[in-house]
Amino acid sequence: MFAVVRELEGSAQLLVHAIRRIGVLLLPPVAEELVRQVYFTGASATGGIMLRGAFIGTLIIAYVIEVLNADASLAVRLLLLVVLREVGPLIAAVLVIQRSGTAVATELALREISGEIANLRRMRIDPRDYLVVPRVVGMAVSNAALTLHVQLIAVGGGMVLASLIINVPFEALLTHFFLLASPLDLVYSLIKSLLFGAAIAVVACYHGLNPRGRSINAVPQAAIRAVTEALLLVMLLNVVFAYLVYGVAFLGLVTAEQ
């Protein structure tokens, strides 16, 4: 338990460092690392979530209309509430943990064990500047973009598929969507997904840069710990976020009663 707290504290210190040193992204080698990270975390992950997103949207609409016997308005309302605010950011975060969290932790642990991190120090390059800052920014931005992608696919694809599968006109769903959708939902999920992405990145970087031992066995261990803690942290942040937003923040603008 204390180890987890210490590791989360180390991750928080990396986040503070990344925020303080964000200016290093202007240096060409660091900017290249950022581009690579955005490509691997964001661009190359989009294909895998298209079907999943569309199926989730369809499932929500079909469940509400067919099983709960409710109307299209409630189905779209639930779709927006669940997908835009909660499931969208969570699906993207889980995907980023599964793909990039493991990759970053493994890569950095290998670099540490093989002496590449020490080589960076010898070149007077702070490994946190060169490796952590672009990964934190890249994963935060990519996670936000992936979240938007999931939301578009889940809501749009869900409405299209639902209109084909069950007896509900697409026009009705679309009309309710434009009536009920609020830009605030997107702002809420954008902030949340940026935070999720940054949290996943710092946890993965922390475990990658601090493998337990110098043997090759330390590499998968770093990846496992990174995935476990990143999942824990994302769930924790989600709970805190939900409490703050539905409870006390945003002056009551975003509530479940909307």
Partner 1 sequence: MSAVLGYEPVRDGEAPGRIWIDEPGAHRLSPACKDELLATLHDLRPPKGARLVLFGADVATLGEAERAALRRRVGFVPANGGLMSNLNAWENISLPLAYHAPRRLPEALREVRALLDEVGGVGEELLAKLPEHMALYERRLAGYVRALLEAPELLVLECVGAGLGPTKRRRAARFAEVYQARRPGGTFVQLDA
- Chain positions contacting partner 1, by CB under 8 A: 27-30, 111, 114-116, 118-125, 130
CB of 122 to partner 1, least distance (A): 6
CB of 217 to partner 1, least distance (A): 20
Looking at the Cβ atoms of 130 and 196, the one nearer to partner 1 is: 130
CB of 228 to partner 1, least distance (A): 26
Looking at the Cβ atoms of 113 and 174, the one nearer to partner 1 is: 113
Sign of CA dihedral 39, 237, 97, 19: positive
Does residue 240 contact residue 195 with C-beta atoms inside 8 Å? no
Spatial CA neighbour of 135 closest among 25, 258, 238: 25
DSSP state at residue 21: T
Looking at the Cβ atoms of 115 and 252, the one nearer to partner 1 is: 115
Looking at the Cβ atoms of 25 and 152, the one nearer to partner 1 is: 25
Cβ neighbour number for residue 169 with a 10 Å cutoff = 10
- What lies within 8 Å, CB to CB, of 80 at 6+ separation is 155, 177, 180, 181, 185
CB of 20 to partner 1, least distance (A): 17
CA atoms within 13 Å, Cβ hemisphere of 107? 14
